[in-house]
């Protein structure tokens, strides 16, 4: 499916794709709203999405398109999709699978069609393995009490919709909580430096991309790099970051699971995990191991999540001590710091 308000762009993209016999254009839409409606009638493997369009626009519509597309993959094709651009990072954080700038003067050296088709081949078919009809169920309730031990580390995991959720979380978090903060957000490696810079501005705190051995300091945010899992270690009484590149069960890189599991192994009841919006189940296994070690986990609620997959897995497993919007989760963290445990 091609989604672009420009008739010229739709025609050019269509011609390039039609020239390759491996692809078929199943639908064309001029707005994100039209695309979501059309996806209720047609099954596609890839959605080519512009960001600048009338109505809600492409960026804010990514979660809705992903939900309607039933496993299809979103490739952003937009003049805003430059490497490192804020819109590019936001699109990937909302669940887009890849991005491609529209051709401009001197860009691609006449190879745009070749690059486009290569990206389509890499994306391949839609992943419909996780799609199944599920009976409606009552929203899970918090099953556990939060530890009343002094907080020593805050570890936050997020995926689709994570940038918005993290912004709301840090806006409500007290400016000083006195413990290190770890963040694992699903993004490709090339965008982590920009993401850390954006997160620092939103949080009003220093934010750095982790290197192996990075000191974990109070109120400093350490972000998982895109090519490794972020873990916690303790050396001579000091907390440091460890990076792991092995495959994990969730298939994510970076994955929230190793971060939460290692936080529990090193700090036990002093570790607190927060699992925010995201597709899939990454974080559920790490949350289980954190709770088994005496730590606590909070999860974002369904109503405020772009995709209620990751936090849902934690909530339905009975591992959460709170299931709330990001700002209220942040206030619970503040209450923990002030020795008022989560009820």
Contact by Cβ (8 Å): 75, 49: yes
Kindly state the tokens that stand for 241. 């970051």
Catalytic annotation present for 147? no
Helix, strand or coil for residue 320? strand
- What span, in angstroms and rounded, lies between the C-alpha atoms of 337 and 151? 6
Catalytic annotation present for 6? no
* Residue from 219, 282, 296, 301 carrying the catalytic annotation: 282
Q: Could you tell me the end-to-end alpha-carbon distance of the chain, in angstroms, rounded to an integer?
A: 48
> CB neighbours of 183 closer than 8 A, spacing ≥ 6?
156, 157, 158, 166, 199, 207, 221, 222, 223, 224
* Residue from 61, 78, 147, 159 carrying the catalytic annotation: 159
Kindly state the tokens that stand for 336. 């923990």
Q: What angle do CA 196, 191, 174 make, to 5 degrees?
A: 20
- Per-residue b or e along 37-63, where b marks 16 or more CB atoms closer than 10 Å to that residue's CB: ebbeeeebbbbbbbbebeeebbbebbb
Contact by Cβ (8 Å): 260, 157: yes
- What span, in angstroms and rounded, lies between the C-alpha atoms of 173 and 171? 6
* Residue from 45, 186, 262, 305 carrying the catalytic annotation: 186
Catalytic annotation present for 164? no
The catalytic site residues sit at: 159, 186, 282
């Amino acid at each position: 499916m091609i989604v672009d308000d420009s008739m010229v762009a739709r025609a050019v993209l269509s011609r390039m794709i039609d020239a390759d016999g491996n692809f078929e254009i199943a639908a064309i839409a001029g707005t994100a709203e039209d695309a979501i409606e059309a996806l209720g009638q047609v099954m596609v493997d890839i959605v080519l999405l512009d960001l600048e369009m009338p109505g809600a626009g492409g960026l804010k519509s990514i979660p809705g398109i992903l939900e309607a597309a039933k496993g299809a993959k979103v490739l952003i094709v937009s003049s805003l999709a430059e490497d490192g651009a804020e819109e590019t990072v936001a699109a990937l954080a909302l669940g887009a699978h890849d991005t491609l700038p529209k051709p401009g003067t001197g860009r691609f050296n006449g190879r745009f069609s070749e690059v486009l088709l290569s990206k389509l081949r890499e994306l391949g078919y839609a992943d419909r393995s996780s799609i199944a009809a599920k009976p409606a169920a009552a929203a899970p309730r918090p099953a556990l009490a939060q530890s009343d031990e002094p907080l020593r580390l805050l570890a936050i995991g997020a995926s689709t919709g994570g940038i918005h959720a993290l912004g709301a979380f840090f806006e409500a978090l007290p400016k000083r909580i006195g413990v290190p903060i770890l963040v694992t957000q699903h993004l490709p490696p090339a965008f982590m430096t920009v993401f850390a810079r954006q997160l620092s501005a939103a949080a009003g705190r220093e934010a750095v991309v982790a290197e192996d051995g990075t000191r974990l300091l109070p109120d400093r945010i350490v972000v998982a790099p895109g090519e490794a899992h972020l873990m916690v270690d303790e050396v001579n009484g000091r907390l440091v970051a460890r990076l792991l590149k092995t495959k994990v069960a969730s298939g994510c890189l970076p994955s929230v699971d190793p971060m939460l599991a290692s936080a529990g192994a090193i700090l036990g009841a002093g570790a607190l995990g927060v699992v925010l919006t995201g597709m899939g189940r990454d974080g559920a296994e790490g949350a289980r191991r954190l709770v088994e070690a005496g730590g606590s986990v909070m999860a974002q609620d369904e109503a405020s999540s772009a995709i209620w997959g990751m936090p849902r897995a934690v909530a339905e497993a009975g591992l959460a001590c709170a299931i709330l919007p990001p700002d209220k989760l942040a206030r619970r963290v503040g209450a923990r710091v002030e020795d008022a445990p989560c009820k």
